[in-house]
Structure 1
Amino acid sequence: MKDTKPTIPNTPTNKPTKDRKRKAVDLNYDLNLSTTSTGDTTEKSGDGPQRRLWVKTRSPDWWDEYNREDVSELEFKKAFKMGKNTFNLICDELSATVAKENTMLRDAVPVRQRVAVCVWRLASGESLRLVSKKFGLGISTCHKIVLEVCSAIKDVLMPKYLQWPDKSSVKVISNEFETLSGIPNVVGSMYTTHIPIIAPKVNVSAYFNKRHTDRKQKTCYSVTVQGVVDQAGVFTDVCIGWPGSMPDDQVLEKSALYQRASGGLLKGVWIVGGSGYPLMDWILVPYTQPHLTWTQHAFNEKIGEILKVSKDAFARLKGRWSCLQKRTEMKLQDLPVVLGACCVLHNICELRGEEIEPELVVEVVDDEMVPEIALRSEVAMKARDTMAHNLLHHNHAGTSFL
């Protein structure tokens, strides 16, 4: 049942155009071939001038302040959304993967600084230009570091910190959810959110988010993140990167979670989802028809308590990593790995008790569309009716709906 890697759709890539002029890329140095009257900047030989490499100086003073051993825990956490011990843990676990060797031209960027560049970029949502200034590195260097560290998080930390629970953990999770809601055998709370993006150059209509556009009165494009969390709001499964025009039920059908469930690996347990998902043998959703009975109202109220766990988890995820709240500069094909890294870092913070400041938690609003075929299992319909009856008549259900 273990399948923790984010499900990533195929995205088209741009083919190189022939005869296109190669543009210079900022790699933290320039090649200076000019000669001035005040002194040579070239080395001459019998074959003509030779190129001399010079390094553009940038100040790392901002990072040096946070890299001091005596920097306060409060100050560090305010900047990086995690305490120093958690940050050090991540550096230690990624060290072997992200470390680079010095060259004759320059010293390699240290592991702590590389991890800090990535975490700061995700936490602040600042542009690469501003990240570059804070860390004393080139813009393209920062961009490369962010992608490399996010990839290392996916490869090294995701199998450890974002995985489907084993049998003993499933029992603990289901007991906690039953204590919360009175509904038995629930192993996860599922929610799908949208991450804003700049209009892509290809297949633009697929990423157009009509529901967000209508609400905000502003053209919106997005990709989706479907996540299942346990009772503590820790992600146990993610499906990342499908176009924003897809409704929740279609994203679900594209996920590895759906494939595992279709193979019978979720038999006898429930994942609770909102009204955007279909009722199935393993997905439990609220009643959506008009004129609900008291029993159905009571059931929906308890389902709502479970759904709140995943929605709150996404609110903290987006609050911690501000890059998820604004349209990103990153290429579409790089985005799933970055979003997956955010989910892994969220889990590490949650598991280590890293609390998020209440003012940072964002309101998560994603319109749910009831699927065309909302009821896909007679067995599940009868099971839901039985649970709803038991909740109301065994005093497990509240009466706030009255």
Structure 2
Amino acid sequence: MEISPVPFFNQEDCSNFYSFFQDFDTSFLADSYPQKRQKVEYCEDEIVTDPQASVKEILCSFLSFENNPDQESQNPSMGDAEKSGSKRPRGEGDSSSDDSASNPSPTGHRRLWVKDRSKAWWEQCNSPDFPESEFRNAFRMSKSTFNMICEELDSAVNKKDTMLRQAIPVRQRVAVCVNRLATGDPLRVVSKRFGLGISTCHKLVLEVCSAIKTVLMPKYIQWPDENQIKEVKSAFGQISGISDVGGTIYTTHVPIIAPKNSVAAYFNKRHTERNQKTSYSITVQGVVNPQGLFTDVSIGWPGSMPDDKVLEKSALYKRASTGLLRDVRVVGNAGYPLMDWLLVPYTHQNLTWTQHAFNGKIEETQRVAKEAFMRMKARWSCLQKRTEVKLQDLPAVLGACCVLHNICEMRNEAMDEMLRFELFDDEMVAENCVRSVGAMRARDHIAHNLLHRSSHVGS
């Protein structure tokens, strides 16, 4: 006795049922199956599933398998898909069409497909023969620095292969993120370079940035210890002549797309008035050492918040308020208030010669911080334009830029002079510009000593 593949239907019932089902709902089954059968498409970055398509294929398999067991060899839709070259079965190479002809699947057709994207650009960049200059242009760092970052992030970003697909290698994951930060190009452009889906690239950027912030930030952004602070004070003393300076502070704005919530909080009024174009931003506050390295950062406060308010929200302010910055001064611009540990220029009218000279020294010290922020924004071009990243994910991206800046500076990575640009951050004098009478006296004393020392040296 021959057993039918569908025991509850004989061949005549199958034909009647198929005809009845077409009349009952022609939108449910494709006409003239299997020539116009709908496939379930599998993409690199996402799986597109259609419940109706899945049921449709099951029913059609039942109806067609008895009539023709060798369905795959006579299925025009399968042949067209494999001849097109635009898609290939997952897990097989370019010769999959030959293999599939000789080894038909049990169900008579394949149901998982992957788009065939070109990875030629990345394979060329990943080659040992790729020129160092072109690699720097694409990633803003040398191959050795890039390899070091990949090694340190390996355990955090490495993924295992699955039955459906092979995991993207660590080097390619890091490369997608660094290239996106360096060029600031849209995700659709980056995805074409690496032969990946747009959503896959977006996910990789966020994952790698989060890993950089978690794994590398505690290592590469640190407040100087007791031995380091002595060297920092000595270096700043040679720059400005002011003693006990442990860092210089600056706040920059990063443009963003207008958020859906709290729009007014992120509205950058000063930038809008100057450019005559509505602008929204978030802030990045950083303390910089004499070598231009960040030793403290505070990221993500709304762009409408002035510099002194951003400072009050930062962990640096809390540490200083508890006395942890004893015998250390931080130099800021007029946007910050004068405090016992924070030294800022004179802002009132009709300054004396002593006060003018003091402001000049403060400006020289502040230039170190401004140059550091300029190099960071020039090196990571994503900071110069409104980004596609959601507001809640931006702190991780900006933190990663600060960490990568420090790594490049520590390893003496030269920055192309063509990338330099003028840093625009409108300063506004703090409302309560003096917070301590003792700080006023200390500033007057420092200004007097600077003028006396310079006149003594000149004579």
Per-residue displacement from partner, 1:255-312 (whole Å, max 9, x unpaired)? 0000000010011210000000000011000000011000000000010000000000
Q: Secondary structure at the match of 2:112?
A: strand
Q: 1:281 aligns with which of 340, 344, 348?
A: 340
Change (3 A) 1:25 1:227: farther
Query: 1:398: Cα distance to partner?
Result: 11
Change (3 A) 1:365 1:156: same
Question: 2:106, 2:162 → 1: CA distance?
Answer: 25
Structure number with higher helix proportion: 2
Partner of 1:227: 286
- The equivalences for 1:178-189 within 5 A come to 178-189=237-248
CA contact (8 A) 1:193 1:225 kept: yes
Partner of 1:39: 77
Is 1:377 the equivalent of 2:436? yes
RMSD over aligned CA atoms reads: 2.2
Partner of 2:304: 245
- The equivalences for 1:204-219 within 5 A come to 204-219=263-278
Question: 2:436, 2:418 → 1: CA distance?
Answer: 42
Per-residue displacement from partner, 1:63-121 (whole Å, max 9, x unpaired)? 11110011121111111000000000000000011000011111100000000000000
Partner of 1:108: 167
Q: 1:260 aligns with which of 310, 319, 325?
A: 319
Partner of 1:142: 201
Change (3 A) 1:397 1:328: farther
Question: 1:369, 1:218 → 2: CA distance?
Answer: 19
Partner of 2:5: none
Q: Secondary structure at the match of 2:259?
A: coil
Query: 1:39: Cα distance to partner?
Result: 2.8
Query: 1:147: Cα distance to partner?
Result: 0.5
Q: Secondary structure at the match of 2:392?
A: coil
Question: 1:274, 1:128 → 2: CA distance?
Answer: 37
CA contact (8 A) 2:44 2:115 kept: no
Is 1:302 the equivalent of 2:361? yes
- The equivalences for 1:45-194 within 5 A come to 52-194=111-253
Q: Secondary structure at the match of 1:195?
A: strand
Q: Secondary structure at the match of 2:168?
A: coil
Question: 1:398, 1:322 → 2: CA distance?
Answer: 44
Sequence identity of aligned pairs in percent?
62
Change (3 A) 1:396 1:161: farther
Moved more, 70-79 or 99-108: 70-79
Query: 1:369: Cα distance to partner?
Result: 1.1
Q: Secondary structure at the match of 1:212?
A: helix
Gaps of 5+ in 1: 1-23
Specify the code of the residue in structure 2 equivalent to 1:220.
Answer: S
Q: Secondary structure at the match of 1:143?
A: helix
Q: Secondary structure at the match of 1:394?
A: helix
Moved more, 266-275 or 358-367: 358-367
CA contact (8 A) 1:247 1:369 kept: yes
Question: 1:25, 1:339 → 2: CA distance?
Answer: 30
Q: Secondary structure at the match of 1:305?
A: helix
Partner of 2:45: 27
Query: 1:25: Cα distance to partner?
Result: 9.4
Change (3 A) 1:356 1:398: farther
Gaps of 5+ in 2: 1-41, 58-73, 82-88, 90-104
Q: Which has the larger radius of gyration?
A: 2
Moved more, 118-127 or 50-59: 50-59
Q: Which runs of 4+ in 1 moved over 6 A?
A: 34-37, 41-45, 396-399
Q: Secondary structure at the match of 1:335?
A: helix
Change (3 A) 1:127 1:396: farther
Partner of 1:292: 351
